[in-house]
Amino acid sequence: MPAEPGATDPASRAAELRDLIRHHNDRYFVDNQPEIPDADFDALMRELAAIEATHPDLIAEDSPTGTVGAAATFAPVTHELAMMSLDKAFDHDEFDHWHQRLMRALGEGRSADDFVCELKFDGLAISARYENRKLVQAATRGNGTVGEDVTANVLGIDDVPKTLPAGAPDVLEVRGEVYLEVSEFNRLNDSLRDAGLPLYANPRNTAAGSLRLKDPAASAARNLRWFSYQLGVVEGGPVLGRHSETFDYLDTLGFPVNDQVEVVHGPDAVKQYFDRAEARRHEFDYETDGAVAKVDSLALQRDLGVTSHHPRWAIAFKFAPEEKSTLLRDIHVSIGGKGKATPFAVLEPVFVGGSTVQMATLHNEDQVRLKDVRPGDIVTVRKAGDVIPEVVGPVLSERPANLEPWEFPSHCSCGLNEPLQRSDGDAAHYCLNGQCPLQRDGWIEHFAARAAMDIEGFGERTVRLFTANELLSDIAGIYELDFEQVRTIEGFGDISVRNLEASIETSKERGLGPLLIGLNIRHLGDTGAHVVARAFGHLDAILAADIDTLSKVDGVGPTIAASLHAFFADPANQSLIERLRVAGVSFEGPEVIDVAQTLEGCTVVVSGSLEGFSRDGAKDAIVRRGGKSPGSVSKKTLALVLGDSPGASKIAKAEELGIPVIDEAAFVSLLDTGEL
């Protein structure tokens, strides 16, 4: 229990309290094993706040009262100097082509011989701005022009200086990468595994998710790290002639700089660095998915300039995807929120692509048969882009004799003996029993997900706990929760309950598009949900519409229209809607945004991960401009936009049909002009 304020020397007690609070944050947010009740933790915070209020001279820049618990706003931040992505090369030949373009751009008699080579960290790019030596703002890259304000959470990262030494520039913007150490990631997963909870997927996603937690206390407890690698806006700083000098300057100001930076001479030396970095990629306690080469001379960088997408003086070399073989222990089937049955591989854990893979999706029955993978097989696992594990196929030479093919189960695993059904023309099986507990839990998780109602802290673990304790039985019940009963569940103290209650309350204003996504209506995807929301403007208008009216919406069609109509005609769903209405959930559609309809009537398909757009963001950008963005390429497709790790089938189809394939820079231009 905390001591009475003033019982000891204030300075000593404040220092002691800060250490105690950080310790208990770790126990609560990281280990899920709190050592003291929430009330005692709150008392520690109040005591520290009282000391700082009485003795302002004792307020530390990194005090938990300022860095933990403050509201994280994620408001938009316009970058004064754009945070551009990099051009990419996937092999030595592509790097050579880039170097040749570089030399042509410089012109005869000029050359760039010295390059700075760096590792490409698999984290989240962040810009930190200092004014009068104090950190005043931190923002994500976002689309390169506008990012999100994550200052409250970045203040909790120990590596990021909060104040700069005397002599620092009046204004200094430093760019770098927030990441999670592999050892810390493994420690987090070990604690979850011991508690019987779902594991985090990989360090990169965990770091990005941690930085966007709405509670900075939880974000700070994740022990995120930061490497600085570039200057942005500088006012009053020294005149530097080389990019390599930037690292020395950052080091003198107290910023962490990676120790694998090298200055090399000539393109062959750059390629040698790439090869060394790829060979050593798993020796480091952080994930790296490539290496970067930059022209060292800042004068040449200025002369070379930038495109609308990337600087001409830098290139990112992406490491090749990795493949490993491991035992396929079993094939299980998960039941999603719409009752969809999805088979997935249960693997002997294997380290591939920078992390340990234990499961991989197999999509549907047809894919299992096509790949002919069987429990007991040695299979090849590929982790493309260090993100999504994929079972490529069996190692037939190692297949045991008489190994039987896997058969898709005939009944759902929910225990209700419900047959799994597959309609003609549909690749997936479904459990059609509305009472299926697996389907119920999946629907609630989907409803609370970021693309839908974005309820922080309402993931799989919380849903399972609430349904198991009979506090929740459907999506509308989220807004009818008895929070006093929630407090009786182990792990839900005052702080976590208040945060959960606030997140649920905030979700009521998400609007019609996210609500339609959350309702999990069969055949209605995320893009279609926003199209319908814009077309009708209010849920009541959708409820009143017949199938013909629904099907006339551009991009809906008869299948989606029939599914929408059937969903809202179901008495059980009507009851859910009325309960959501009573709870105060907004049924209003989005405000009309005046965007030029540059893609009116056009179909643009996006495949792979883009630097400046989320998957949903790219589709929304197309739809807002009057276009369509389906998941497959057809004769009607205007263009296929390729990002990192695109689908091979989409590329093959585009080549077969002669559909233009464009990169992200051309996509941005297409959005602006409507022209390829």
Distance CA 34, CA 630 (A): 47
Looking at residues 255-270, what average pLDDT do you find? 94
Looking at residues 330-349, what average pLDDT do you find? 88
pLDDT, tens digit (0-9, with 9 covering 90-100), for 233-244: 999 889 999 999
Question: Which pLDDT score is estimated for 193?
Answer: 67
Higher pLDDT, 277 or 39: 277
pLDDT, tens digit (0-9, with 9 covering 90-100), for 348-373: 998 876 678 898 888 888 888 888 99
Question: Which pLDDT score is estimated for 202?
Answer: 72
Q: Which of 50-64, 187-201, 374-388 has the highest mean pLDDT?
A: 374-388
* Percent of the chain with pLDDT strictly greater than 70: 89
Q: How confident is the model at residue 476 (pLDDT cuts 50, 70, 90)?
A: very high
Distance CA 65, CA 163 (A): 17
Distance CA 122, CA 288 (A): 5
pLDDT, tens digit (0-9, with 9 covering 90-100), for 34-79: 445 444 565 677 678 778 767 777 777 666 665 433 334 578 889 8
State yes or no: pLDDT of 299 exceeds 90.
yes
Q: Which domains does the chain carry?
A: 10-67 (1.10.287.610), 87-318 (3.30.470.30), 322-401 (2.40.50.140), 437-507 (1.10.150.20), 512-583 (1.10.150.20), 603-673 (3.40.50.10190)
State yes or no: pLDDT of 386 exceeds 70.
no
Higher pLDDT, 615 or 83: 83
State yes or no: pLDDT of 643 exceeds 50.
yes
Strands 288-295 and 314-318: antiparallel
Distance CA 539, CA 141 (A): 35
For residue 234, give the amino acid letter. Answer: V
Residue for token pair 């490993």: 324
Beta-carbon count within 10 A of 4 CB: 8
State yes or no: pLDDT of 122 exceeds 90.
no
State yes or no: pLDDT of 593 exceeds 60.
no
Q: How confident is the model at residue 586 (pLDDT cuts 50, 70, 90)?
A: very high
State yes or no: pLDDT of 274 exceeds 60.
yes
* Percent of the chain with pLDDT strictly greater than 90: 41
The structure's pTM equals: 0.47
State yes or no: pLDDT of 102 exceeds 90.
yes
Lowest mean pLDDT, pick from 67-76, 321-330, 369-378, 638-647: 67-76
Q: How confident is the model at residue 201 (pLDDT cuts 50, 70, 90)?
A: low
Which residues does the annotation mark as catalytic? 120
Distance CA 222, CA 42 (A): 20
- As given in the structure block, the two tokens for residue 53 are 């209020």
Question: Which pLDDT score is estimated for 463?
Answer: 93
Question: Which pLDDT score is estimated for 37?
Answer: 45
What are 177's strand-pairing partners? 125, 227
Question: Which pLDDT score is estimated for 388?
Answer: 63
Question: Which pLDDT score is estimated for 592?
Answer: 54
Q: Using DSSP, state whether 383 is helix, strand or coil.
A: strand
Q: How confident is the model at residue 261 (pLDDT cuts 50, 70, 90)?
A: very high
Q: Is the dihedral of CA 232, 237, 243, 247 positive or negative?
A: negative
End-to-end alpha-carbon separation of the chain, Å? 67
Distance CA 523, CA 73 (A): 34
Q: Mean of the per-residue pLDDT values for the chain?
A: 85
Q: Which of 333-337, 384-388, 594-598 has the highest mean pLDDT?
A: 333-337
State yes or no: pLDDT of 659 exceeds 80.
yes
Question: Which pLDDT score is estimated for 34?
Answer: 45
pLDDT, tens digit (0-9, with 9 covering 90-100), for 144-171: 888 889 999 999 998 999 999 998 999 9
